[in-house]
Amino acid sequence: MVLQLDTEAFSSPFTPDKAWFELNRDEDACDVIVRMEDGTVFTAMFATMDYIHRQMNLTYEMTSNFSDTTPVRYAALDTPHIILPELTVDIIEDTIDNLIALDVFESHFTRVTEESESDPARTTNDGKLATQEVAAVVIQDVLVVAS
């Protein structure tokens, strides 16, 4: 699904061009991809409390099956998650607008495109280029843009 962001409200260096999101099959979380006017692409996971509870229950089930672990409910989230009361287009759009307006967008979204400055002494880019290529494929081939 394509989001329409309030670009006139921004006095930030981050001005969104387009954003997409896709709900997971349980409809309690979604990946959000935001492309800025300068072509920079960011991604984040948006989730509800139902998602957190489901993760806790899955962890409990998993730890119940191992003799070396004590069954306990917890959620260890390894990527940034933005928790919302529900995943509607309006709430997601407003959240992105607010994160940009409050100048905290980049601390909650992960940049998946290369920054223009690169260190010629480095022989690795910590997988960023691969992530950038995956994001480009998702935007071009996976997400269907509704007109």
**Domain annotation covers residue 37:** yes
Predicted model pTM: 0.70
Task: Give kind and range of the element (H or E) at residue 45.
Answer: strand 41-47
| Cα–Cα distance for residue pair 36/19, rounded to 1 Å | 9
Q: How far apart are the first and last CA of the chain?
A: 10
Domain count, the chain: 1
**21 beta partners:** 32
Residue 146 lies in a domain: no
- The tens digit of pLDDT for each residue in 69-124 reads 999 999 998 888 999 999 999 999 999 999 999 999 999 999 988 765 555 554 44
Q: What is the pLDDT of residues 14-72, one digit of tens each?
A: 788 899 999 999 999 999 999 999 999 999 999 999 999 999 999 999 999 999 999 99
> Does 46 fall in a domain?
yes
Q: Is residue 147 in a domain?
A: no
* Domain coverage including residue 46: 2-141
